[in-house]
Chain A
Amino acid sequence: MLKNPCERMFGRSLWVYHANSGGCNGCDIEVLNALTPYYDLERFGIKLVGSPRHADVMLCQGPALRATAVALRRAYDAMPAPKLVFAIGSCACGGGTWFDSYAVLGPVEKAVPVNFYVPGCPPRPEAIIYGVAVAVGLVEKKAAPVHFKQAEFPIPLYHPGQLHGVGDLVVYEKLEKI
């Protein structure tokens, strides 16, 4: 666990700054919910701070808008290095439902480099805590790309003319492959 670069850089506590660049406030509520006694993120040493200059981690909610992307970038530049960026919610991860709107530039990674993604609309407080735990190195990430194939090419081609008997069985031989 000590080999985790995040742990080495940040020691024991992460101070988070909460940047909303045009979200619907749903993810903000869930982030604040994660800081309440019920889900108590402060037991991991996480504290919400009001200024990016005090922060180690920026939690981005909402997509990068044409109007707010520059301000988001400036807030990121104001943070002292080393710094982490979490994209929280579908809007921050991939642009959300309005990813192709004229006002939306896209996911926040168009404005700031993102280290961790927490998808969901909004993500459950548990999902946010899980993202923090993945970043700190408490748990392994579970997400992995899924690829399913119904048929492997080439597909064998059959023809009724190729039926013939072998003993008491009938065998339907393949013709060729396409």
Chain B
Amino acid sequence: MLSKVKEAILCLKPGRVTLPYPAHAEPIADNFRGVPRWNGEKCIGCAGCASNCSARAILVRDVCQELRILEYVGGRCTYCGRCAEVCPEMAIVMSHDFEQATNDVTDLNQRLDVFMSTCQRCGRCFKVPDALEQLKMQGYRFDDLEQARWVFRSNAFLEGDPVVEDIPVELD
């Protein structure tokens, strides 16, 4: 009898332990791996994530020379984090999202259309100048988005030696 009372006191001591989950979410540990999310701006389309994915959840489709489609099939992703580990540009991060319950399995998919920039002369890939390199260009450039043209604030492009060597291009 006394042991039962002791047990009851032991059980009453911690009070209420049930988490009020759907109303309040508890903070998640920093190293928790949730859904992998692509940062489309950073992705260079190397498809290292696709070749390293153990569940083959990332599919690569090359529809033409300029476009590579990376498709993420979320249904069978095991959130192992190998894609984020191998990405050279840190374009995949394991987010903290885990509330992915849905009634349609295609809700879990992600798709990224990567623009594979190729040189218009040789057809090979080149590195797009980053923000710092763009600043180093003569005259700060801003784009006229409405007319799709580049506008330079300096006349250095017109006088003296040309910045870009002008090679005749055959347009097909």
Contacts and interface: CB of A to CB of B under 8 A. Distances in A.
A111 to B, nearest CB: 15
A22 interface: no
B42 to A, nearest CB: 10
A150 B100 contact: no
B153 A141 contact: no
A118 interface: yes
A2 to B, nearest CB: 18
Interface residues of B, number: 64
Nearest to A134: B101
Interface in B64-78: 66-67, 73-78
Contacts of A118: 100-101
Contact of A146 (B41, B76, B103, B111): B111
Contacts of A134: 101-103
Contact of A170 (B26, B55, B110, B157): B157
Interface string A5-45: 00000000000000000000000000000000111100100
Contacts of B153: 168-170
Mostly, the A contact residues are mixed
B101 A116 contact: yes
Given A119-B77, A141-B103, A38 B22 contact: no
B31 interface: no
Interface stretch (A48-56, A72-80, A96-104): A96-104
Nearest to A115: B103
Interface of A: 37-40, 43, 90-91, 93-97, 99-100, 107, 109, 114-121, 123-124, 126-131, 133-135, 138-139, 141-151, 153, 155-161, 163-165, 168-176, 178
